[in-house]
A and B are shown apart, each in its own frame.
Chain A
Amino acid sequence: MSQSTFTRRGLLRSSAALGAAGVAPSFFVRDAWAQDFTNNPGNGSSVTLGFNVPQSGAYADEGADELRAYTLAVKHLNGEGDGGMLNTMKPLSLKGNGVLGKEVKFVTGDTQTKSDAARASAKRMIEKDGAIMITGGSSSGVAIAVQSLCQEAGVIFMAGLTHSNDTTGKDKRKYGFRHFFNTEMTGASLGPVLESNFGKDRNAYHLTADYTWGWSQEGSIKKYTEALGWNTTAAVRTPLGAGDFSQYITPVLNSGADVLVLNHYGKDMVNSLTQAVQFGLRDKNVGGKDFQIVVPLFSRLMAQGAGENIKGIFGSTNWNWSLTDEGSAAFVKSFGAEYGFPPSQAAHTTYCQAILYANACEMAGTFNPCEVITALEGFKFDGMGNGATEYRASDHQCFKDVLVVRGNENPSSQFDLLEVVQEVPRSQVEYDPSLLGGELGNCA
C-alpha cells in the first residue's frame, strides 16, 4: 500500500513555483507574449519584407520600377544612401537604423499580373521566407486577391499600383492599405477639368476593359460627366488584351459621340489610343465640336508606347516626377542618382508604402500587425510628394492631392511626356466611406 506524501506546505510551494515560472517570461523576455502573430521577428537581428511585383508579363517594366523603389526604400530605412524622403516626411518616427533596431531585408515574388500566381508568390514569401509584410503589384485584380490572402494570413498588405474603387471599397480588408488613388478620385478630379476644356454639352462613348478596374473607372467617369450634363452614348466592354480594337472603334464613327473615353490601362491603352487616332477620331468634327479622346488613368511608362498620339490627351495620375515640392524633389534626386532616370508613379507609390509601413511599426513600437494597423489608421503626414495626406481609418484609403495631366505637346526630354494641368486639392476628391461599401473586418 502506497503512502501519500501530499501536504498543505508542499501544495503551497508547488503553486508558488508554477506561478513564478508562468509569469517570469512576461517580465524577462521582450515581446514574448506577442509570439502569436505571423512571422514575429522576435529577438532576431533582422526583419523581412515581401515585395510582390510583376517581374514577367505585360507589366514587367512597371514591376522593375517598383522593385527599384523598394530597394531604395530598404537602403534608406537601413541608414544607407542620402535618405530620400526620410529627410522630408513629417512626422517621422524612423531613425535610419532599420525598423525597431532591426536591419530590413527583403524577398521578392513575381505576380506575373495573374491573381493565382500573385497569391502563390505571396504565400511562399509568408510561409517560407518569413515575410512580415507583403507589398507591391500593378493590377487591381491582383491587389484584391493578395489582400484577401494577407487578411487570412494575418499579414499586412501595402498595395502597389491598384486604381479600382473595390480595393478600398467593397473588397477592403483590415490588413490592406492603399496609398494610390482610385477611380472615384479620378472622376472627381478630372470631371471639372473636362468641363472647363470641352464644355457641358458632350456625348461620350466609353470603351472599357472588361474587368474590375475597367468597370470601376467607367462608373466613376460616367457619374461625374453625367453630373456635368454630358450624355453617355454607349459604354462598350472590350476584352482584356484585345490587341486590335478596330471592331470596337468603328462604331464610334457613326454613333454621334464627340468624346471617346478609353477606360484602358497599359498595353490596351497604347493600342486603343493608337488605333483611335489612326481612325481619324482626333480630326473629326461632330456637330461643330472637335472630337476629343480622354484617357482617365495615365502612366508615363505606358504613355511612351503611344508615342505622338498621347499629345494633348487629358487624364489623371497619382504623382509625376516633375513636381517640385520638397518630398518629390528628394525622391527624384535619390532615385535619379541611383538609377539614372526618374521614378514612375508606380515607383513613388511603392516607395511611400514601404516607408509608411516601417514608420508605423516604429510608432507602434512593435511588429504586431494589429498595433501597426492602429498606428496607420488615421495617420496624417506630409512631405511625401502629394501634400498633406491621411490614411483614412474607415477604409484604409490614402487621401491626398490628385494630378490632372495632359500629354505634353512639346516635351523637353524623353521623360517629359506629361504636363501637369492641375493639382486637384484633396478636399475635392474626398468622399463618404460608405459610398463604396465593403467591410474592413477585424484584426485577429
Chain B
Amino acid sequence: MLLNDRIVITGMGVVAPNAIGLHDFHIAIKTGKSGISFISELEKLKFRCQVAGVPPISETDNTEFREKYRLANLKSTGILYGIMASVEAWRDAGLPEPDRCNPDDHTGCIFGTGSNGVEATSYGIEILESVGVHGGDGCNFLQVLNSGVSAYIGYLLGLGNQTTSNASACNTGTEALIMAANRIKMGLAERMIVGSSESDSPYVWAPFDSMFATAQGFNATPEKASCPMSKNATGFVPSSGAGAFIVESLSSAKERGARIYAEVLGGQINSGGQRGDGSMTLGNQKGIVKCIQDTLRVTNVRPEEIDFISGHLSSTIGDIREIQGWSTALNLPEKSFPYINATKSMIGHCLSASGAIETVGTILQLYHGFIHPSINSEDVHPDVEKLISPDSIPQTAIERTLRIAAKISLGFGDVNSCVILERWGN
C-alpha cells in the first residue's frame, strides 16, 4: 500500500501577524520581529488579554485580492487568509494557472481550521434574528461550514483530488501536512495543497480569555506578551493567519523541474487519550514522548542528527511539559540538546493556523540556513533550565548550514503531531 515515494515541499505561502508573504516573513522571523499589538476592540469588550496578533494586510491589498478572485462578499477572514496563502504557495511552486473547467485529478487539498466561519456564523445569527432566514446573503452558509476554506481553495485552483478540511485544534496545521504526505505515499494523489488558517475575531478568542488561557498583564507591553519558555509566561497571545504548502511526490517534482525546499522524512499523529497526566486541555506526557519517538523511528533519524526543534511552545504551563517531553524522548546529554525556538514568541498563538505558519517558518530556516531567535526568552523558566541549557534557546539568529529540523504541534483534546524535515540537496 505504501509506495514509499519520497515526499517533498515545492511551494509555500504565508499570512502571519508579523509579515505577509514568504519574503517578508523570512526577514521578520530572522530579525525577531513581533507581530503582537494592542487591540482596542478587545479593551472595549473587556477582555483580560487585550493584545493579539493580526496579519497586517493593507486595505488596498485586501480589496485588490478580493476583486481578483471575486471574493467581495467573503466575511470570514480565516477563509480569506487561507486562500491568500494557498495562491502564494501555488505560484511559488511554479504550478500552471488553474483551469477550473478541467480539474486536476492528481491534485487535492487538506486545509484545516478551528473556527474559520465565525464571522459568517455571527452574521447568520444576526440575520436570523432581525430579518429572518431569507434576508441575508445565501452564500454565507458555505462559510459557516468547517470545510468552507477547502471548498473555496478547491474551487479557485481547480482541484480534482480529495478536497477537505481537518480539525484537531492547535494540532491542525501539522496534522494536515502529515495526512497529505500519507495520501501521496499511498499513491492516491501526486500533490496536495496543505495548510491551515484561523480567523481574527474576538469571538474566536473570547472562550480562551474566559478560561484564563491567554496572557495576563501585558496590555501595555504587547511585544513582550508572548514569551515561551520564560519565567514571565502567563498564557498565550491569541492571533490569526494562515500557512500553506505544496506537498508533492518527488517524482512529480522532478518531472516538473520544480525547486525543492525540503523533504518530509515522515511524521506521526497520536493522542494521549486524556489519561495519565493528560486532560482535555493539557497533554499526557507519555503521548508527547511517544509521538516524538515514533517519528524518529519511522524516519530513521537519530536524536543527535536534529539541528533544531521548532516547538509548539505557546507561552503557557504546557511549555515545561513539552520540554520535558523532548528531553525524555531524545534522551541526550544537556550539551547535545538541539537548538529549540518558539515561532509563537513573535506571532502569538495562531491556534489552528499555528502548525502551518510555524512549519513554513521551519522550512525557511532549513532552506536559508538560519535558526530564528526565540524572543522574550531572556529569563528562562527555572523548570525549563533544569531540563535544557539556556544556550539551546537562540536569542539572536544563528546562521549555519542545517540539515534536519523537527516540528511539533499539540492541541486541545490531548492531540499531538510531530514531523521531521530535511533540507533538500544535502
Whether chain B is bound by chain A comes out as no
Q: List chain B positions with a Cβ less than 8 A from chain A.
A: none
